[in-house]
Structure 1
Amino acid sequence: MEYKRITNIEDSNFKKLHDLMGKIFPPEEVLDYGLWKEPLEDPSIRVFVAIDDDQVVGATEYRYYPDWNIAMTDFTIISKPGLSLGRFLAQNRLKDLQMLAKENEKELFGMFAEIYDPYRVEHHEFGGVKVMDPYVRREVLSHLGYNRLDLAYVHPSWENNGEAVSGLDLCFMPTSDEVHSLPASLVKDFLTAYYSVLSNKPQEWLTMIDKIGNKETIELLPL
């Protein structure tokens, strides 16, 4: 299996990836095809696909923020069982991030991720792919070491229509077991930067950001 980066919208593997995203994720989570041009060419955004027999069978998008020495996993797709895709993607992603942190003369502090809470929202079937079931994905993140941030979380819809997307948790995987909370300023600055590409922010998100700004720290809770 090959772990290959996509940096151009004209890459034939990107069409396969975008088709796969459309089958797996709900519409509000998928950026329109043409809007991917700039993100793919952005050196800070890393989109990798797992290629098996010339087919895109898995993918992950993430980014590293050198100023904060943290990463964010945008998404992970596993399209079929029996290929150890989850392990393949997670290991290659971590190796890549550790390399980026080393180039930054640091050891990676940790990584953010958003995850649906199936105990609150049960209608996301992720294209009927059982390995993408929200219950399974939540437990996988827990096994990897993610914790959920102690806050009522929403994010702006990627359709940029001003709607708030709820039913998720914002999670963080510290590389040290001694980290049990995060500076609220880090969380606020990260979310503000991460969603700066979306111009139409819902009021629920703006209110959440203000509440985070009024805190000193945010606890990390079991996932």
Structure 2
Amino acid sequence: MEYIRVRSIEDPKFADMHRLMSAIFPPEEVLAFELWKEPIEDPDIHVYVAVHEGAVVGATEYRYYPELRVAMTDFTIIGTAGLGIGRFLYVERSRDVERLQKESGTESLGMFAEIYRPHSVSSLKFGNVLPMHPAVRREVLSHIGYRKLDLAYVHPSWDHEGKAVAELDLGFFPQDETRRTLPAALIVRFLRQYYSALPNKPAEWEDMIRELETRGEVELLPL
């Protein structure tokens, strides 16, 4: 299996990845094809596909913020079971994030990820790919070491309609597994920077940010 970076919507592998993404995720979680043009050319946004026998069978997108010392996994896509795609993407992504830390002379505090709550999205099929089922993904992330932040989380929809998406938790994988809290100010800085690309923010998101700004530390709870 090959781990290949995609840097342009003109790359045929991007079209394959976008089709896979659209088949897996709910519509409000998928940025329209043409709106990917600028983000995918951003050197700080890392989009990689897993290619098996010439076909795109998985993908992941992530970024590292050296000034905040945190990373973010935007998505992980497993297109089929039985090929070890999830482990392959996890290992390759981890190696690349380590490289980014070394190049920036920083040491990461950990990695954020938005994690579906299975009971909130029980009607969604997630492409009928069993490894992508929210209950499976959540348990895998828990095994890896992810925890969830103690807040009522919402995020702006990626369809640019400004809807509040509330079926997820904001998770964090602490580099130090004894860590039990994160500074609320760090979470606010991260979320403001991460969602700066979406001009339409729902009122629920703004309310969440304002509430976070009144807090000191936010507890990391079990998934």
TM-score range, shorter chain: over 0.9
2-side partners of 1:189 and 1:57: how far apart? 34
2-side partners of 1:137 and 1:96: how far apart? 22
Q: Deviations over 1:6-63 (max 9, x none)?
A: 0111111001000101100110000010110111110110000000011000000000
Aligned-partner residue type, residue 220 of structure 1: L
Q: Number of residue pairs matched?
A: 223
What does 1:13-162 align with in structure 2 at a 5 Å threshold?
13-162=13-162
Q: Deviations over 1:179-214 (max 9, x none)?
A: 110000000010011111111110000000000011
What is the match of residue 186 of structure 1?
Answer: 186
Note the residue ranges of structure 1 that are not aligned, 5 or more in a row: none
Aligned-partner residue type, residue 15 of structure 1: A
1-side partners of 2:81 and 2:129: how far apart? 9
The answer to whether the Cα contact below 8 Å between 1:61 and 1:76 also exists between their aligned partners in 2 is yes
The answer to whether the Cα contact below 8 Å between 2:182 and 2:219 also exists between their aligned partners in 1 is yes
What is the match of residue 204 of structure 1?
Answer: 204
1:119 aligned counterpart, secondary structure: helix
2-side partners of 1:154 and 1:62: how far apart? 20
1-side partners of 2:162 and 2:32: how far apart? 16
Work out the percentage of aligned pairs sharing the same amino acid: 57
1:47 aligned counterpart, secondary structure: strand
1:199 aligned counterpart, secondary structure: coil
2:118 aligned counterpart, secondary structure: coil
The answer to whether the Cα contact below 8 Å between 1:149 and 1:170 also exists between their aligned partners in 2 is yes
Q: Deviations over 1:158-197 (max 9, x none)?
A: 0111210011100000111121100000000100111111
1-side partners of 2:208 and 2:129: how far apart? 32
1:173 aligned counterpart, secondary structure: strand
In the superposition, the TM-score normalised over structure 2's length comes to 0.98
The answer to whether the Cα contact below 8 Å between 2:66 and 2:106 also exists between their aligned partners in 1 is no
Note the residue ranges of structure 2 that are not aligned, 5 or more in a row: none
1-side partners of 2:47 and 2:162: how far apart? 26
Aligned-partner residue type, residue 32 of structure 1: A
The answer to whether the Cα contact below 8 Å between 1:45 and 1:61 also exists between their aligned partners in 2 is yes
